């Protein structure tokens, strides 16, 4: 299954689920969905920064100071944060990322998503 085929919850301006759609359709139609972003640092306080792959649907080939991604259909923000941190960092057994805050991102061009921000060491 490609990333575009992943099923996501579609949410409203209050972060209530109003439906489900394929990730590719969510992006193409500008449907509001959920994402997690994790600030990852080591015990010395160094922050992990990486370059996104050129095939990403959003912000391809750019540097990012967060690891993370979309929240799958029926998945909690907390579970998605742990899953994404382990996937993106290529490790297992991380402590559960600590929730910091949540906000509604709006790029002003019709794309919106709820963003839950976490941190993990």
- In sequence order, the β-bridge partners of residue 119 are 39, 98
pLDDT at 67: 93
Name the E strands within the chain.
Answer: 7-11, 17-22, 33-40, 50-51, 63-64, 67-70, 98-106, 112-120
pLDDT at 55: 81
Which positions ≥6 away from 56 have C-beta within 8 Å? none
Q: Average pLDDT, whole number, for the chain?
A: 92
β-strand 112-120 against 33-40: which pairing, if any? parallel
Task: Dump pLDDT digits (tens) for 25-80.
Answer: 998 999 999 999 999 999 999 999 988 888 876 788 899 999 999 999 999 999 99
Question: Does the pLDDT at position 1 exceed 80?
Answer: no
Looking at per-residue pLDDT, the higher value among 26 and 1 belongs to 26
Question: Does the pLDDT at position 108 exceed 90?
Answer: no
Average pLDDT over residues 14-33: 95
Could you state, in order of their start, the residue ranges of all structural domains in the chain? 3-120
Q: Report the predicted TM-score, pTM, of the whole model to 2 decimal places.
A: 0.90
Which tokens sit at 52? Answer: 């996104």
- Give me the sign of the Cα torsion angle 75, 16, 97, 4: positive
- What's the CATH fold of domain 3-120? Nucleoside Triphosphate Pyrophosphohydrolase (3.90.79)
């Amino acid at each position: 299954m490609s990333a575009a085929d992943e099923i996501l919850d579609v949410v409203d301006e209050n972060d209530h689920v109003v439906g489900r759609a394929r990730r590719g359709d969510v992006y193409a139609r500008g449907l509001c969905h959920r994402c997690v972003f994790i600030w990852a640092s080591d015990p010395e306080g160094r922050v992990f920064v990486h370059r996104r792959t050129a095939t990403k649907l959003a912000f391809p080939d750019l540097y990012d100071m967060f690891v993370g991604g979309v929240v799958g259909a029926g998945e909690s923000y907390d579970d998605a944060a742990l899953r994404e941190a382990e996937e993106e960092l290529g490790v297992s057994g991380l402590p559960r990322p600590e929730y910091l805050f949540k906000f509604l991102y709006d790029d002003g061009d019709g794309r919106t998503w709820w963003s839950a921000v976490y941190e993990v060491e």
